[in-house]
Amino acid sequence: MHLIIFDDLIHKSFYPITQTRSVGDIRCGILKLRQRLSNAFQAEQECVLIDPLLVDLYRERHPDWLVNSIPEGDKLYLSSRLKLDEQALAELKALQPGEALCSGEYYVAARTNQALAFGFQDIPELRKLQSQITLYRHLTDIVHDNSRLIIQDFETLFYEEDNFFEIETGVSVLNPYQIWLEEGVSLAPNVVLDASQGPIVIESGARVMAGSVIQGPVYIGKNSLIKIGAKIYPGTSIGPVCKIGGEVEDSIFQAYSNKQHHGFLGHAYIGEWVNLGAGTTNSDLKNTYKNVKTFNYLSHDSIDCGSQFMGCVLGDHVKTGINVSLNTGLVVGIGSNLYGSKLFSGFVPDLSWGEAGCLTKYRFSAFCDTVAIVKERRALSLSEIEIKLLRQISGE
């Protein structure tokens, strides 16, 4: 059986994060959405079905993947928006050839020999079964499910009854059986790892500097740096090659992003190559304690996120200056460069430059120059295919 992990037309609801990646490559918990499905279903071959705008980029970065190339034979199609738990897993594994599971009007899964194209909205000749499986609707759902997913991923992939590791002198550990440290992790004196409320996973090459407190559930990816005195609270996932300081709670960093200085970040989703200046802080709770509204690219309007808590969503390559203030529910598009003392609220379009209430368009050539410099610092390069995608996003 072949496994096909597919994005549907709701992928725009996860913009700006999915303007440059598949929904399946959204980081949440310890794994990405796609990785969690791949681990649960050990198929003989795997394919991703994604927005055609991303196909060239994915084929360049992942030449060994099947991207929008559907193999012949028996196929299990799984939505990349699928919220995986034990009940969902049992229902999916019981699916028979010729059957499809639906959540309302959207497909959750399908078992068929048919080769489907991106954006399919109907699958002829399949028996459609309504399911109680949940599909993520937008990034707010991801942020609020992060703690559960860290715990689930830890129990599935990392928990060992005979877990044993040596700790440097001066490091304090609470509930060590809920902590997994990969070889090559560096912990400085006076670090506190508190897994009393949930697991902590730290991968190879990560460094935690002196005086930092990490309270699980938390995941820290390869080669990331936790700065002196950082406070990392539950529900936080930090992808590879990030630098994190200050106070972070219930937030997700995709990868290659920096929040090195003081300032609070809560219930936020941060893309790649983001840099937050010293003192940048977001609000994640309104003074009225009412539900937060956040901009949705799919509806081109603000939607009720269904929670009192929601910070900001920052697309790839966003930069903020010192002491920038980000309001509850703020969404900032790709490549924006924000500074000044005024509060940023609502929605900041892609490639915006300036202060709140006085934004101009970031020149595309200057933006690409900065992207190239930033990536070169990590021994990476900005490809022509990536430039083409960013140009399409910019509207030039």
| Statement to judge: residues 101 and 231 lie in one domain | no
Q: What is the pLDDT of residues 93-124, one digit of tens each?
A: 999 999 999 999 999 999 999 999 999 999 98
| Statement to judge: residues 148 and 129 lie in one domain | no
| Statement to judge: residues 58 and 153 lie in one domain | no
pLDDT for the residue 395: 86
Do strands 106-112 and 99-103 pair parallel, antiparallel, or not at all (unpaired)? Answer: antiparallel
Output the 3-class SS for 167-218: CCCCCEEECHHHEEECCCCEECCCCEEECCCCCEEECCCCEECCCCEEECCE
Q: Residue 371: give its domain's CATH number.
A: 2.160.10.10
Segment holding 271, helix H or strand E: strand 269-272
Write down the residue that tokens 């406070």 correspond to: 231
| Statement to judge: residues 328 and 381 lie in one domain | yes
Residue finishing a domain among 81, 103, 137: 137
| Residues with pLDDT less than 70, the chain | 161-166
pLDDT for the residue 44: 81
pLDDT for the residue 164: 59
Residue finishing a domain among 111, 137, 163: 137
Q: What is the pLDDT of residues 349-390, one digit of tens each?
A: 999 999 999 999 999 999 999 999 999 999 999 999 999 999
| Statement to judge: residues 343 and 218 lie in one domain | yes
| Statement to judge: residues 101 and 166 lie in one domain | no
DSSP 307-353: SSB---EE-TT-EE-TT-EE-TT-EE-TT-EE-SSSEE-SEE-TTEE
> Range of 307's domain?
143-394
Residue finishing a domain among 137, 171, 200: 137
pLDDT for the residue 162: 60
Tokens of 159: 């928990």
| Statement to judge: residues 67 and 162 lie in one domain | no
What does the alpha-carbon distance between residue 299 and residue 31 come to, in Å, rounded to a whole number? Answer: 28
What does the alpha-carbon distance between residue 372 and residue 380 come to, in Å, rounded to a whole number? Answer: 8
Does the pTM of the predicted model rise above 0.95?
yes
| Statement to judge: residues 91 and 183 lie in one domain | no
Do strands 236-238 and 252-255 pair parallel, antiparallel, or not at all (unpaired)? Answer: parallel
| Statement to judge: residues 322 and 272 lie in one domain | yes
| Statement to judge: residues 113 and 172 lie in one domain | no
What does the alpha-carbon distance between residue 116 and residue 119 come to, in Å, rounded to a whole number? Answer: 9
Q: Residue 58: give its domain's CATH number.
A: 3.90.550
| Statement to judge: residues 280 and 375 lie in one domain | yes
| Statement to judge: residues 102 and 170 lie in one domain | no
- Total domain count, the chain: 2
Task: Give me Rg for the CA atoms of the chain.
Answer: 21
pLDDT for the residue 43: 79
Choose among 142, 134, 76: nearest CA to 104.
Answer: 134
Do strands 293-296 and 301-304 pair parallel, antiparallel, or not at all (unpaired)? Answer: antiparallel
